[in-house]
Amino acid sequence: MPSVLSDPRLDERSFVLAVDKDPLQLELTSMLLKRDGHQPITTSDPDTAFRMLETQQIDLVLVDTAFPRHDGYRVGQQIRQLKPSIPIVVVSDRGDDDKVVRSLLAFADDFVSKPFVPRELLARVHALLRRSGLAHGSRGADGSLIVGEITLNRHLMQVSINGKPVALTPRELSLLAVLMSNPDRVLSRGQIVRLAWGHEFSGCLKTVDVCVQRLRKKMEPHLSGEGYIQAVRGFGYKLERRRRAAPVARLSVEASAVTA
């Protein structure tokens, strides 16, 4: 029987990573998530979790605050650095109030205390996924990323703008995927390099500027109004959902008003 909390528009595409030192806790969490329609991915090793975040589609992270050989606080910070906009829920032991507050201030979006009530955990997961869906680019039925007029099919690695295919190189596709996953959010060149091309990338940060210029040149002729890459001086780049009106057009309108 489906959960009363279930929302098939979210669940059928929601991959939830649970990172916990306790295998039994992971087994329980996995069972609850799976029963509620999510796709659980579990590990007790933070280093494995980092690799999963870099190589797999993850929509939300549940992370413990205590590990035998890792600082749970630093684990959460590293997850936030790897995935700047992913929802993170801290799962803490009761009595860890100071650690919970530090985590919420530094990287976490929400928390639950062990032992948790299953319905409470699932409700918090649903609320964050719903909010995340509003903050991120929306998804098509096939899991494609959609921001304004731009659609990126991540399975086929194909991009279309207003239904017309746009040929991009693998490096350009990876960069665009990162920007579309974080619309209206400024990402530094370092973040873009790490998220799009990985730690093995051996080029310089200027490569981001060159790649962005090529993306603009290929995409903008097909755009009529929404979704373009903007440079934020001193910080990096962001993909805007809505394109600003051209300054020349505004000046023309003002000039016409004066002459009238």
- Domain coordinates in residue numbering, the chain: 8-135, 139-247
Cα–Cα dist 144/197, whole Å: 20
The pLDDT value recorded for residue 258 is: 43
The pLDDT value recorded for residue 16 is: 94
Domain spanning 139-247, CATH class = mainly alpha
pLDDT lower than 50: segments of the chain: 1-12, 134-135, 244-260
- Residues 192 and 178 sit within 8 Å (Cβ to Cβ): yes
Closest CA to 25 of 41, 11, 44: 44
The pLDDT value recorded for residue 244 is: 46
The pLDDT value recorded for residue 33 is: 93
Q: Which residue has the tokens 């590293």?
A: 78
Query: How far, in whole angstroms, is CA 109 from its chain's centroid?
Result: 13
The pLDDT value recorded for residue 50 is: 93
Going by their DSSP bridges, the two strands 158-161 and 187-188 should be labelled as: unpaired
The pLDDT value recorded for residue 113 is: 86
The pLDDT value recorded for residue 43 is: 94
Cα–Cα dist 131/7, whole Å: 13
Q: Just give the CATH number of 8-135.
A: 3.40.50.2300
Closest CA to 150 of 50, 33, 242: 242
Cα–Cα dist 23/253, whole Å: 66
